[in-house]
Structure 1
Amino acid sequence: MKLIYESLFNIFEEAERELEKQGRTHCIKYVIKEFQKTIQAYMTEVKWLNNKYIPTMTEYIKTSSITSGYPMLITASYIGMKDMATEDIFKWVTSKPKIVTASTIIFRFMDDIVSNEFEQKREHIVSYLECYMRECDISKEEAIQELQKGVTNAWKDINEECLKPTKVPMLFLMRIVNMARFIDVMHKDEDCYTHAEGKMKKCIQALLVDPVPII
C-alpha cells in the first residue's frame, strides 16, 4: 500500500504542476482527497482482516463503497474535461450524490455475488453477501436475491438522476453511467476481473485490437 500510495501521489504532484499552468489546480486537489479516503478505507479493511472482525452491513457498505475505487476514479475522470469541469462540479461529485452512490452499489453488489466463493478460498475480509446472511439470518441464495434487487434499485436511482433537467450537465453524468455499465460487463455472470482470460479478454480485444471498419 505504501508503494502504491507513493507512486500515485508522485503522479498527482506531476499533474498538479501541469494543471497549475492552466489555473486548474483545484481539480487535482479533489482527486487527491478522494485518493486519501480510498487508502484509509483499504487500511480499515486490513484491520478487519487482521482482527478477524465481521462488520455490520452498514459498516461494510460504508467502507467497501470507497474501496471499490469508483468515487476516486469518477472524480479523476473529470480532470481532462478542461474548463467545463469547474470547481463546483468537483464539489458536487465528491459530495456523495445519489448517482455516484448508486454506481458504487452496483459495483460492490455485483462483485460480491460473483467473486465471493473464490475470495474466501484465500485470506480475505468477509463480503457483503456474508454480512447479509449473518445479520439477516438467511441463506446464500436469499442473500444473492436481495443483492440483485439492490442492483436493480441502484439502476433506478441512476435513471432518476439522468432525467432532465439534471443537477449537472449530462456530459458529467454519462461518465458515471458508463462506469456502471462497465460493471455490468465485468461482473454480469462471472468475475471477469479476476479471471480475465475469457470474456474480458475478448472485450478488450474488440475495443483495442480489432479494427473497426469505417464506411
Structure 2
Amino acid sequence: MQEEDWRVSGCTPSFHERNTAALDGYIISIIGSPFLGVPKEVITKEVFQWLTSVPDIAKDSMRIMRYTDEFVGYEREIKSGQGPTTFECYKMEHKLTKEETTIKFQSFSDDAWKRINQACLSPADGPRTVLEIFVNMGRLMETFYLYFEDGYNKPSNMKKVMSQLLLEPFSLK
C-alpha cells in the first residue's frame, strides 16, 4: 500500500524508505513458497520457528532478487509508470548516473552473496538443506533476471539456457 501511495501522490521516498517497503513485500514469498513440497522431516517445528524469524540468509536471498530486478528492470519500470523504484530513489538521492547506480546495486547483490556464503560455511542457524534452498533461490532469481534479458517481457533466452542446463553434456576438464 505504501508503494501505491507514493505512486499516486507523486512523492519520492528516500532510498531507505523505498528499499524497506520493497523488501517487506518479498518476505512472505521468500519464507513460504520455496518450502512447498519440502518433506515434513526437514521442516520441523523448530525450523518453522526459525523461518518465521526471517533469518539473515533469507533476507540476503531476498536482497539478491530485489537488487538484481531493480537494475535489470529499471527502464521497464520507469516506462510503465509504476512510481519511484528503489533504483531511482538511490540514483536521485546520491546524484548518480544510471551506470553508477547499476554498479552500486550489483555491489549490494555481491555483498548479500558474501553473507550467504559465510552462513553456509559455518551453518549455525538452520539445517543445511534449508540453507541450500535459500542459496538456490538467489541463484534462480539472479539467473532469471540476468540471462533472460528482462525476465518478464523477453524470455527469448529461456529455451537456450534451459537446454544448456538440462540437456547438453559438459565436462569438468
Larger radius of gyration: 1
Supply the RMSD in Å over aligned alpha carbons. 2.3
Residue equivalent to 1:122: 80
Relative contact order: is structure 1 or structure 2 higher (C-alpha 8 Å, sep ≥ 6)? Answer: 2
1:75 aligns with 2:32: yes
Q: How does 1:189-208 map onto structure 2 within 5 Å?
A: 190-196=149-155, 198-204=156-162
Is 1:96 aligned to residue 54 of structure 2? yes
Consecutive unaligned residues in structure 2, runs of 5 or more: none
Q: For 2:68, what is the secondary structure of its paired residue? A: helix
1:169 to 2:127 alignment = yes
- Native 8 Å contact 2:42 2:129 kept in 1: no
Give the drift of 1:44.
Answer: 2.1
**Which residue in 2 is equivalent to 1:144?**
102
1:165–1:145 distance in 2 versus 1, CA, 3 Å? closer
Q: Is the 8 A contact 1:65 1:105 kept in 2?
A: yes
Where does the alignment leave 5 or more consecutive residues of structure 1 unmatched? 1-42
Separation of aligned partners in 2, 1:70 and 1:204: 28
Q: TM-score scaled by structure 2? A: 0.84
Give CA deviations for 1:148-205 in whole Å, capped at 9, x if unaligned: 1111101001001111343111000111111100122112253123322x11244456
The match for 1:110 is 68
Answer whether contact 2:60 2:115 (CA < 8 A) is retained.
Answer: yes
Report the counterpart of residue 51 of structure 1 in structure 2: 9
- Given the superposition, is the C-alpha separation of residues 201 and 50 from structure 1 closer, same or farther in structure 2, using an over 3 Å criterion? farther
Number of aligned residue pairs: 167
TM-score, scaled to structure 1: 0.69
Sequence identity of aligned pairs in percent? 32
Cα offset, 1:118, TM superposition? 1.6
In structure 2, relative to structure 1, the CA distance for the partners of 1:125 and 1:201 (3 Å cut) is farther
Change (3 A) 1:59 1:109: same
